[in-house]
């Protein structure tokens, strides 16, 4: 395998894995945790109008119900991964579950918009602790290549399909219970999952070091928050607005300062050897670009179904079910193919297939049929994404040193969250501008103008995924023989 950095020998590492009989129960615990994390990126979308009316949230501020979670999650994932490395993955995993339960309860009973925003931010903070610990625990539990591929197929399927499941669940809870249950439902699930984790997951002591790169943590966290917020502001204020330019400049400057800092400190938050490996770097870039395209698809397809085809919130949620089905089909195929053909032969084709699906979406108009124009495109995109998500999760930990596995897995989730945030802001601005130009040139034809904006956004999303496929094909060189084997798999996946 071609690598730009050396990793320490792996066979000498001692791995504390759960008993053989418990590994599938551990997978169930991790799967539930990952489902909660992914659901909370989308479950509130359908409930948002109800929450807005209930708490008197203004149109300008309603975005914070979504972005507070994304900013907390994406901005703190690197720190969460390093904390998991230092303190132990089980300890951080359980602590994250408990905090997530409390934050969800706070959001569910929120008496005001400010409390709801704060609760969503806290959910993101604790999700940033759980996510990297969960992926490291998964890789440590399944060390046999065939079983490890199956476990990652479950993880990847949930990562890809969970957002669509969240839309369905959000519609059900909003229509038959109350919007608050979109948050409250997490509390009992998280607490039960924490108890199961305490009983089923083996203890790990973490690393001996207890030093933290505080300067690096502040720089990357504030830089990512500024960058994400800057792209979000571009949707409402424009790309040339002083606030947008200032936030983007601050974000870029702080991220550059973070990279410089990491190359100089003794205990870096992100050892540069992790992303500089060409295979892992290709996986991280693919995660970023695929999330940018995928989140845009969810955003505009939701608008199209509700605003153009006049679907109810519940019907809109169920309209995403083919996407969830396709994700699991793609993930299942990957579990069979990954040990045989390796990651380089799956990731690029998966992203290319998803790009084809987005081109299909770009053909919609105001009179399009759901069965003819939406369902086939959903299936094509989701199968491609199923191939990509599982392969990214596995490739991100190829040949990683045991002490770096937490931050390596955190980078996967960070790139997905940041990519989703940036993609949503970018594509929303592009679609709004395209709609405005169309309405102006066609004398107020708003329905057609909105759909025109969606089509432009779908074309841009397809281009982003195509770029991801090209990057994956150019960077990733790992084949089936490069997948970890035996003791090396266990140590390298820690």
pLDDT 10s digits, 237-258: 777 889 989 999 999 999 999 9
Average pLDDT over residues 463-490: 71
Percent pLDDT > 70 in the chain is 88
Same domain, 318 and 467: yes
- Among 101, 98, 93, smallest CA distance to 29 is for 93
Rounded to whole angstroms, how far apart are CA atoms 193 and 28? 9
**Is residue 212 scored above 80 in pLDDT?**
no
Same domain, 456 and 468: yes
Residues 6+ apart with CB under 8 A from 334: 149, 152, 153, 156, 346, 350, 386, 387, 390, 391
Same domain, 378 and 260: no
The pLDDT of residue 483: 52
- Among 108, 42, 96, smallest CA distance to 69 is for 42
**Is residue 494 scored above 60 in pLDDT?**
no
**Is residue 209 scored above 50 in pLDDT?**
yes
Same domain, 390 and 431: yes
Of residues 438 and 228, more confidence is placed in: 438
Same domain, 182 and 71: yes
pLDDT band, residue 384 (cuts 50/70/90): very high
Give residue-wise pLDDT tens across range 224-233. Answer: 778 777 876 7
Same domain, 361 and 288: yes
Same domain, 218 and 151: no
Assigned domain for 335 exists: yes
Segment of 136-150, 383-397, 399-413, 446-460 carrying the highest mean pLDDT: 446-460
Segment of 135-144, 229-238, 411-420, 460-469 carrying the highest mean pLDDT: 460-469
Of residues 332 and 139, more confidence is placed in: 332
Residues 6+ apart with CB under 8 A from 187: 101, 102, 104, 105, 108
Of residues 69 and 96, more confidence is placed in: 96
Of residues 349 and 162, more confidence is placed in: 349
Same domain, 412 and 355: yes
**Is residue 277 scored above 80 in pLDDT?**
yes
**Is residue 49 scored above 70 in pLDDT?**
yes
Same domain, 51 and 163: yes
* pTM: predicted TM-score of the whole model, two decimal places: 0.76
Identify the domain boundary among 242, 268, 294: 268
Identify the domain boundary among 268, 284, 301: 268
Give residue-wise pLDDT tens across range 119-161. Answer: 999 999 999 888 888 877 887 788 777 777 788 778 777 766 6
- Among 74, 126, 70, smallest CA distance to 103 is for 126
Same domain, 192 and 233: no
Give the total number of structural domains in the chain.
Answer: 2
What domain range includes position 230? 213-268
**Is residue 481 scored above 60 in pLDDT?**
no
pLDDT band, residue 166 (cuts 50/70/90): confident
The pLDDT of residue 213: 77
Assigned domain for 424 exists: yes
Assigned domain for 85 exists: yes
**Is residue 100 scored above 60 in pLDDT?**
yes
Identify the domain boundary among 268, 285, 303: 268
Contact 421, 232 (CB under 8 A): yes
SS3 57: coil
pLDDT band, residue 59 (cuts 50/70/90): low
SS3 15: coil
Average pLDDT over residues 278-290: 90
Assigned domain for 242 exists: yes
pLDDT band, residue 490 (cuts 50/70/90): very low
Assigned domain for 205 exists: yes
Rounded to whole angstroms, how far apart are CA atoms 108 and 62? 16
CA distances from 306 to 296, 422, 455 (A): 16, 23, 16
Same domain, 399 and 366: yes
For position 474, which CATH number holds? 1.20.1250.20
Same domain, 235 and 332: no
pLDDT band, residue 371 (cuts 50/70/90): very high
């Amino acid at each position: 395998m071609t690598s730009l950095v050396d990793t320490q020998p792996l066979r000498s590492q001692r791995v504390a894995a759960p008993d053989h009989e418990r590994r599938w129960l551990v997978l169930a615990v991790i799967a539930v945790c990952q489902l909660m994390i992914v659901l909370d990126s989308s479950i509130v979308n359908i409930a948002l109008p109800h929450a807005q009316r209930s708490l008197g949230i203004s149109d300008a501020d309603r975005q914070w119900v979504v972005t507070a979670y994304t900013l907390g999650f994406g901005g703190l994932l690197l720190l969460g991964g390093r904390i998991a490395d230092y303190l132990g993955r089980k300890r951080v995993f359980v602590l994250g579950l408990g905090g997530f339960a409390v934050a969800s309860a706070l959001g569910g009973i929120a008496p005001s918009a400010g409390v709801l925003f704060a609760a969503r931010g806290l959910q993101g903070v604790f999700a940033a602790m759980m996510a990297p610990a969960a992926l490291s625990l998964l890789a440590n539990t399944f060390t046999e290549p065939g079983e490890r591929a199956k476990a990652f197929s479950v993880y990847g399927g949930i990562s890809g399909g969970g957002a669509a499941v969240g839309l369905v669940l959000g519609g059900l809870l909003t229509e038959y219970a109350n919007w608050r249950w979109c948050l409250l439902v997490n509390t009992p699930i998280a607490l039960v999952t924490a108890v199961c984790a305490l009983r089923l997951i083996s203890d790990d002591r973490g690393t001996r070091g207890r030093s933290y790169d505080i300067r690096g943590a502040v720089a990357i966290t504030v830089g990512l928050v500024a960058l994400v917020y800057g792209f979000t502001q571009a949707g409402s204020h424009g790309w040339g607005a002083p606030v947008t330019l200032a936030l983007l400049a601050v974000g870029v400057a702080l991220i550059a300062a973070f990279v410089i800092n990491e190359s100089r400190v003794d205990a870096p938050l992100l050892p540069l050897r992790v992303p500089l490996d060409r295979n892992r770097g290709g996986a991280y870039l693919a995660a970023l670009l695929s999330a940018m395209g995928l989140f845009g698809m969810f955003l505009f397809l939701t608008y199209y179904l509700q605003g153009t085809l006049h679907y109810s919130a519940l019907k809109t949620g169920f309209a995403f079910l083919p996407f969830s089905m396709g994700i699991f089909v793609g993930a299942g195929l990957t579990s069979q193919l990954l040990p045989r053909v390796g990651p380089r032969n799956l990731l690029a084709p998966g992203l290319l297939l998803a790009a084809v699906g987005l081109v299909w979406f770009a053909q919609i108009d105001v009179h399009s049929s759901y069965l003819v124009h939406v369902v086939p495109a959903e299936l094509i995109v989701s199968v491609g994404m199923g191939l990509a998500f599982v392969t990214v999760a596995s490739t991100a930990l190829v040949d990683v040193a045991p002490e770096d596995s937490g931050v390596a897995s955190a980078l996967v989730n960070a790139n997905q969250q940041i990519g989703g945030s940036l993609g949503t802001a970018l594509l929303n601005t592009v679609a709004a501008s395209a709609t405005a130009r169309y309405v102006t040139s066609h004398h107020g034809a708003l329905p057609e103008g909105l759909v025109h904006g969606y089509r432009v956004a779908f074309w841009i999303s397809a281009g982003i995924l195509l770029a991801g496929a090209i990057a994956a094909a150019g960077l990733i060189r790992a084949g089936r023989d490069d997948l970890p084997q035996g003791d090396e798999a266990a140590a390298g996946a820690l």
